A and B are shown apart, each in its own frame.
Chain A
Amino acid sequence: MSLLLTNILIGVYFISFFFVVFWLITFLTEPEHLKKRRLTEYPLVTIGIPAYNEEKNIEKTLYSVIQLDYPKEKMEIIIVNDGSKDTTQQKAEKIIKQYPEYQIELINQKNQGKGAALNTAIKKAKGEFFVCLDADSYPQKNALKKIIPYFEDNKDIAVVLPCMKTVTGKNFLQKIQRYEYIINMFYKELMGKLDCIRVTPGPFSVYRTKVFEKIGGFDENNLTEDLEMAIRLQKNNYKIVQTTDSTVYTVPPNTFKQLLKQRNRWYKGSILNSLKYKKLIFQKKYGDFGIMEMPASFFSGIIVLTIITSMIYSFLKPIIQNIHNFSLIGFDFSAIFNSYYTWFTRFNILDLNFVLISLSICMGFTSFYVLKKSHTMTKEKILKQGITPLIFYTFVYFFILGIVWINIAFDLILKVRQKW
């Protein structure tokens, strides 16, 4: 590898290591910034559910909302059927008939996208708070009761996010993603401490409704409207907090193809929104969000791509080299034994790559610490689903996401438009 490439790689590792250290310092030194309080009064809450072809999930989602431990007269539920071609409408109507005591409204509109569907719900909303709920997500019974007090406690708070977990999936891919969601909570909690949260996800993010009056609704032409909303909130210096005591369950993709499609949309959306708000990058007036978070997300694609490419290169190179070498010696497989024997007899402790070993130990300890902390934080067990998904998450998942990044790089170069 040329000297220039080696230097770039060292630079990328230096920056990545710097961020890890910075995050750990923040996590260890920042005091608990959120006070947990009990709910004293029940304000009116509007729950907006955008749905597009959600016949499989809509009923379960509505049941989970109905079962929320919150007075029904203080809940307004608005389902926006965004031109579904399946039986979403009929299923929603069935629930409305089944629970006449609840204020549930169904709005059917032409397909305009999730952002537009949410805006329809916001326009109708009468509640002091607006909950955005994806039709494939299910809040825990006490979720609303846990979230609303945060607003009472601090008038500066504009959005409160729940702890997002995946439903207990039987599918192996979903089991792997469970770790990602839990570890992501650690990261989000950290970002919350720095006022740097840059996404207010679809599953059960609770907004003060009047915020929309000031900064407008969701961007209807955005690939990731939840991400754009969060950056816009940050641009207007609103406070977003991440909680860990209220939970919402979401259904992660269960096929590889779906996962790649979802991540492609997320990461591409992240890059495009970083570009849209590039003026925030390195702006001191936005504090850590401008100085650290925006540049980090802007360059994260490049960083991940560099690391992934170098990892794939160092993984594939010896394999290809060995196959080629074998062809030179007429595929005499006894040579494998010979070469191991020779390696063993000639082995000297100095042959080991101590720098790489130290780096791996360092990374191993940090990863385990984050894994342990995130599970404690979310009250989950590390080996709840056995050890195999954890092994796959640790050693293989990163490469899967790497494929997404490589794909995005090609898409952006070739200017492929994402259909969403």
Chain B
Amino acid sequence: MVVTRKISRNKYLFAFLITLIVFSLGLLLGLVIENKRVKYIELQDETQKQDINSLQLQYQIIDAFGEEKNCEAIQKTFEINAQNLENLRDKLEKYQANANLNKKDFDLLKREYTLAQIKFWLITKKTKSMCNIDAATIFYFYADAKNCTKCQDQAVVLTYLKDKFGSNLLTFVFDSQLKDEPIIDLLKKVYGIQTYPTLIINEKKYDGFTTKEIILKDICPKMKNTTIDLCNQYQTVIIS
């Protein structure tokens, strides 16, 4: 009445092999997707570069001929550029957060993105006054969760405001830990950045987490020709 015991060695081996293959395929799939994401960002980066070049040339033409009626065209390119830059940042952040093996590639892309931002900012400075564009500027210096517990919160507030203001709010986002790019250090020195998050709103520095209300107080007065619902309260206060 006893069982002759057996060990299903072959089945264990076969099951282990299948499991290994399935997990390896999963890993491979992850890698393929990651590579595709790197390629996608590269392409977006390239488009961004062209857009900035175009904007720069447009500015130079207007500057040379002094024809302010061309401002309409430049404003359109400006808006598209601002939007594309934001899209690029969004994808770059998301893909890098999920990246496992191509972190370095994403760092390189981030560097390119940072340079694109600065170029865009420099052109913005000139075109804003020349073409009377309603746009507030925010520089946002952040660090990873380990070094900055409130950066996640700050990002939520900025994304919200960006969604509300569209191209009327230009946010320039700088990863303070991007060691390879000397411009970051330069900007940090220029603005005396020591804590994270730090915001530079229209050239005024705010250390630590800055609430939605404080930001609105500072950026709303810049909206002279544009009606933004969120600004009603702050604009009225100023008028009165």
Q: Which residues of A contact B (CB under 8 A)?
A: 14, 17-19, 21-22, 25-26, 29, 155-158, 194-195, 208, 211, 236-239, 284-292, 324-325, 328-330, 332, 335, 338-339, 342, 346, 348, 350-351, 353-355, 358-359, 362
* Interface residue? B129 (CB, 8 A): no
Whether A17 lies near B3 (C-beta < 8 A) is no
Taking CB atoms, residues of chain A closer than 8 Å to B6 are 195, 287-288
In angstroms, Cα B2 to Cα A286, docked, is 11
| A155 / chain B contacts, CB cutoff of 8 Å | 1
Q: Say whether, besides A328-B153, A346-B91, A355-B30, A362 and B3 are in contact (CB < 8 Å).
A: no
Closest chain A CB from B86 CB (angstroms):
9
Verify B157–A338 contact, CB threshold 8 A: no
Contact check, B19 vs A25: say whether CB atoms are below 8 A apart.
Answer: no
- In angstroms, Cα B15 to Cα A26, docked, is 10
Please tell me if the beta carbons of B153 and A208 are within 8 angstroms of each other in the complex: no
Asked whether, in the complex, the Cβ of B157 is within 8 Å of the Cβ of A329, the reply is yes
Partner of A29, one of B11, B22, B153: B11
Cβ contact within 8 Å between B29 and A355: yes
Chain A: CB-nearest residue to B95: A350
For residue A350, which residues in chain B have a CB less than 8 angstroms away from its CB? 33, 36-37, 40, 95
The answer for the CA separation of A157 and B18 in the assembled complex, in Å, is 34
CA distance A359 to B26 in the complex (A): 8
CB-CB nearest in chain A for B94: A351
A195 CB contacts on chain B under 8 angstroms:
3, 5-6
Instruction: Tell me, in angstroms, the Cα distance from A299 to B195 when the chains sit together.
Output: 46
**Pairwise interchain contact A194-B1, C-beta atoms closer than 8 A:** no
Smallest CB separation, A135 vs chain B (Å): 29
Answer whether residue B23 sits at the interface, using C-beta atoms and an 8 A cutoff.
yes
CB-defined contacts of B8 to chain A, threshold 8 Å: 22, 26, 194, 288, 292
Q: A350-B37, A354-B33, A355-B30 are in contact. Are A14 and B23 (CB under 8 A)?
A: yes
Q: With A287-B7, A291-B7, A355-B29 as known contacts, state yes or no: A328 contacts B157, CB within 8 Å.
A: yes
B131 to chain A, nearest CB (A): 26
Q: Closest approach, in angstroms, between the C-beta of B26 and any C-beta of chain A? A: 5
Q: Could you tell me the distance between the alpha carbons of A80 and B33 in the complex, rounded to whole angstroms?
A: 66
Task: Give bound CA distance, A346 to B90, whole Å.
Answer: 9
With both chains docked as a complex, state the minimum distance between the C-beta of A291 and any C-beta of chain B, in angstroms.
6
Write the nearest CB–CB distance from A317 to chain B, whole angstroms: 12
Pair A239/B23 contact, Cβ less than 8 Å: no
Q: B36 contacts which chain A residues (CB < 8 A)?
A: 350
Interface readout for B9-32 with A: 1 if CB under 8 Å, 0 if not? 001101110110011001001100
* Nearest B residue to A287, CB-CB: B5
Q: A339-B163, A354-B33 are in contact. Are A362 and B22 (CB under 8 A)?
A: yes
CB distance from B185 to the nearest CB of A (A): 29
Q: How far is the CA of A211 from the CA of B18 in the complex (A)?
A: 40
How many Å lie between the Cα of A350 and that of B95 in the bound state? Answer: 9
A188 to B79: give the CA distance in the assembly, Å. 65
| Interface bits B33-45 vs A (CB < 8 Å: 1, else 0) | 1001100100000
Q: Within the assembled complex, what's the spacing in Å between the Cα atoms of A21 and B30?
A: 22
User: Which chain A residues border B22 with CB–CB below 8 Å?
Assistant: 17, 21, 362
A291 and B5 CA atoms in complex are apart in Å by 11
- Apart from the given pairs A195-B3, A339-B163, A348-B91, 5 other A-B contacts in the complex at a CB distance below 8 Å: A17-B19, A25-B15, A26-B8, A156-B2, A238-B2
The answer to whether A18 and B11 touch across the interface, beta carbons within 8 angstroms, is: no
Selected A-B contacts with CB under 8 Å, 12 pairs: A21-B15, A25-B11, A156-B1, A195-B3, A287-B6, A288-B7, A292-B12, A325-B153, A332-B160, A335-B163, A338-B163, A359-B26
Determine the chain A residues whose CB is within 8 A of the CB of B2 once the complex forms: 156, 236-239
* Residue contact A18 to B19, C-beta cutoff 8 Å: yes
In the complex, which range does the number of interface residues on chain B fall in?
Answer: 35 or more
Q: Is the CB of B212 within 8 A of A17?
A: no
B87 at the interface (CB under 8 A from A): yes
Contacting residues, chain A, for B14 (C-beta < 8 A): 25
- Complex-state Cα separation, A358 to B5, whole angstroms: 38
B15 touches which of A22, A156, A291, A342 (Cβ 8 Å): A22
Give Cα A354–Cα B35 distance, bound, in whole angstroms.
Answer: 13
**Interface check B164, CB cutoff 8 A:** yes
Q: Given the complex of chains A and B, what is the CA–CA distance between A29 and B11 in angstroms?
A: 9
Report the minimum CB–CB distance from B192 to chain A (whole Å): 26
**What's the Cα separation between A324 and B29 when bound, in Å?**
34
For B16, give its contact among A18, A290, A330, A339 (CB under 8 Å).
A18
- What residues on B are CB-neighbors of A362 within 8 Å? 22
Ranked nearest first, the 5 interchain pairs of A and B with the lowest CB-CB distance are A287-B5, A22-B15, A237-B2, A21-B15, A338-B163
Assembled-state Cα–Cα distance A290/B3 (Å): 13
> What A residues does B7 contact at CB under 8 A?
284, 287-288, 291
List of B residues within 8 angstroms of A211 by Cβ: 1
B156 at the interface (CB under 8 A from A): yes
- How close is A30's CB to chain B, nearest CB, in angstroms? 9
B33 partner residues in chain A, CB cutoff 8 A: 350, 354-355
Q: Give the chain A neighbours of B94 by CB distance below 8 A.
A: 351
Which residues of B sit under 8 angstroms from A284, Cβ to Cβ? 7
Query: Chain B residues with Cβ under 8 A from A289's Cβ?
Result: 5
State the Cβ distance, B15 to closest chain A Cβ, in Å. 4
Docked Cα-Cα span, A29 to B156, in Å, equals 54
